[in-house]
Structure 1
Amino acid sequence: MIVTVFSTKSYDRTFLEPAAGTAHSLKFVESRLTQETAILARGSKAVCVFVNDQVDAAVLKVFKELGIEIVALRSAGFNNVDLVAAKKLGIAVARVPAYSPEAVSEHAVALIMALDRNIHRAYARVREGNFALEGLLGFNLHGRTVGIVGTGRVGTSLAKIMLGFGCKVIAYDVMANEGCAAMGVTYTTLENLLGQADIVSLHCPLTDETRHLIDAAAIGRMKHGAMLINTSRGGMIDTAAVIQGLKSGAIGHLGLDVYEEEDDLFFEDLSSAVIQDDVFERLLMFSNVLVTGHQGFFTKEALSAIAATTMANLSTFEASGQATYQLAA
């Protein structure tokens, strides 16, 4: 099967090519998928896309005209895909539902630890010969309450880690996870979680129901000065409301690996450019904010698993017409 891979980086080649072997012929395209670049998939039967690729109705219409039969996501999230349009056009959509929950949960812990102990600020100070400790005071994680919103594989992995730190872990999910409860996680309402947690970490898919889950009202219910961590999808947070929360002190620390307007920023080297997103630039001005560029998934183990599952989806579809992890509208 000939597969056009959009949003290609060097590491995509490194992991996808061995996973494809001789089963699939991969055509790598550096461009992000849009209505304008969709034509680059000409001659392929399948396309492989990433989190910021645009797979809306207009793009899918182009794919239908080109004879594309399947869109293979090399990610777990699929909020960038119009599933209704795909079903109407008869184009299958497959994803990678679980690759390495530890990769993302461990990155969330890295953000928590760095913010708590001001590692990012201390690193910059020491490089300038400043060894003063004023302004770097942190707090013990042991005995703190961690609220996890969404207890799928990643949320469960984070719960296990934080319990190991000696934290009290509470959680909110539309469906309680028996495994989490057995570990000692206490389920509660979202309102109670926000009011009790010293650290709130988000691990939900982005849907109409979860978009801007953390808005001004939610921030108003949070424990004053709490830490907020988001390694799921940027749209979970109302960035303007969070900025106001930072200014008022309602949010004491903010750790982000995702951003709701990241499409034109993340995964690119913009070090020589002037960033035009004023809201994002405002976020970076806070010393108690730490932003990473959507790298929670970026481990050898996770990339290997993503590549293997993506190629397996394509092989299964080619053999039977339905991928192992096929999405339906």
Structure 2
Amino acid sequence: MEILAFGVQADEKPLIEAAFQDHHEVRGLDVFLNADTAPIAAGHEVISTSVNCDLGAEVLASLAAGGTRMVAQRSTGFNNIDLTVAERLGLTVARVSFYSPYSVAEFAWALAMAVNRRIVRASTRTRDFDFRLDGLMGRDMHGRTVGVLGTGKIGEAFARIAHGFGMRLLGWDITENPACLDLGMTYVPKEQLLAESDLVSLHVPLMPETSRLIDGPALKTMRDDAVLINSSRGGLIDTAALVAELRAGRFTGVGLDVYEAEAGLFFLDKSLTAIEDDTLARLVTFPNVLVTSHQAYYTVDAVSQIVETTVNNVLDYSAGRRSENVLVPRS
């Protein structure tokens, strides 16, 4: 059986091919699955997708009509998949429920330190042999307060790094993580966390309950000199409201690895194309904002785990087994 994998990055392709080589043939495509590319999947019982693929009702119907019976998503998030429609069409859907939390947590800290210490601005200057320090002053993280919204595996890993910096830890989640409590974390209401934190980092999944968790009122609750980091899902932040606060001169720094309208932009080369998204175009002009293209997970360790789990999900489907990764079981 040939597996058709959509949205495969160049660095990812050899890892996917090596993982599948003893089981199934795999053909990796750099194009993302959407209504225009869905017909390519015709005749493929199993396809694999990335988080920026479109698996809405129209695309799922096209897949089912072409003979696809299983979707193996190569991510933890699945907000891009209409699970209700998938179940109605008899499509099995599985995801990767766990991979290295350190990849995302470490990258979130890389963003935090980059905006706090003005690393990008400093690097740009020195390339022009401008070695002035004006405008590059940052702050020690030691002794300051960090607020972690979402204290699952990634949030816990982020908190452990913060603990190493010697920071005061505040947490917010529906359940308290004993490991975070052992680090000295205090769980508080979201409003208190935002008001008291020098650094706020988001590590919650995107669900209807968390959509725009950081909206206009939440942003106004934060300190004027706070640092805001999002390496989870773009939809957690009301970006237009964030731009309004940035225009008012607020926040020491903002580091975003995700964007709420990133589909059709991230993972693609748009350098020769006019960007029609005015909010994103404005966002990247602020000198205290750093935007990266959803790469927090992108380490050889994490991607290898993602690919290995994807292979196992396909093998489980073929054998009629069900694991914790299955979102819609085989009918």
Give 1:328 deviation, angstroms. 4.0
TM-fit CA distance, 1:321? 4.7
The residue that corresponds to 1:221 in the other structure is: 221
Q: Over residues 35-85 of structure 1, what are the superposed CA-to-partner deviations in whole Å (9 max), with x where a residue is unaligned?
A: 221111112111100011000111111222222221111011000000111
**Letter paired with 1:79:** N
CA contact (8 A) 1:313 1:324 kept: no
How far is the alpha carbon of 1:16 from its aligned partner?
A: 0.5
What is the total number of aligned residue pairs between the two structures?
329
Provide the residue aligned with 1:103 in structure 2: 103
Q: Which amino acid aligns with 1:189?
A: P
C-alpha deviation, 1:224, in angstroms: 2.3
CA contact (8 A) 1:312 1:324 kept: no
Q: Residue in 1 aligned with 2:290?
A: 290
Separation (CA, whole Å) in 1 of partners of 2:83 and 2:133: 52
CA contact (8 A) 1:225 1:249 kept: no
**2: distance between equivalents of 1:72 and 1:328?**
11
Distance 1:269 1:54 in 2: 18
Q: Which amino acid aligns with 1:119?
A: I
Note if 1:167 corresponds to 2:173. Answer: no
Segments of structure 2 that go 5 or more residues without pairing to the other structure are none
Partner of 1:8: 8
For 2:65 and 2:294, locate their aligned partners in 1 and report how far apart those are by CA, in whole Å. Answer: 33
Question: Residues 190 and 328 (structure 1 numbering): CA distance in 2 closer, same or farther, change over 3 Å?
Answer: farther
Gaps of 5+ in 1: none
Deviation string, structure 1 residues 130-187 (Cα, Å, up to 9, x no partner): 1111111100000110001011111110000010000111110111112211221111
> TM-score, normalized by length of structure 1?
0.97
Structure 2 residue 308 is matched with structure 1 residue 319: no
2:138 maps to 1:138: yes
Query: Which deviations, in whole Å up to 9, do the C-alpha atoms of 1:287-320 show, x marking residues without a partner?
Result: 1001111110111101111110010111111112
Query: Which stretch of the first structure deviates more once superposed, 319-328 or 82-91?
Result: 319-328
- Secondary structure of 1:10's aligned partner: coil
Please state whether the residue corresponding to 1:306 is helix, strand or coil.
helix
Which region of structure 1 is more displaced relative to structure 2, 215-224 or 235-244? 215-224
Match of 1:114 in 2: 114
Identity, in percent, stands at 43
Contact 2:169 2:184 in 1 (8 A): yes
The reply on whether 1:240 has 2:271 as its aligned counterpart is: no
User: Would you identify which runs of 4 or more consecutive aligned residues in structure 1 move more than 6 Å?
Assistant: none
Higher mean C-alpha deviation, range 102-111 or range 14-23: 14-23
**How far is the alpha carbon of 1:18 from its aligned partner?**
0.8
Deviates more, 1:315-324 or 1:164-173: 315-324
With structure 2 as the length reference, what TM-score do the two structures score? 0.96
Are the equivalent residues in 2 in contact too, given 1:92–1:322 (CA < 8 A)?
Answer: no
Q: Distance in 2 between matches of 1:289 and 1:220?
A: 17
- Corresponding residue number in structure 2 for 1:200: 200
Q: Secondary structure at the match of 1:281?
A: helix
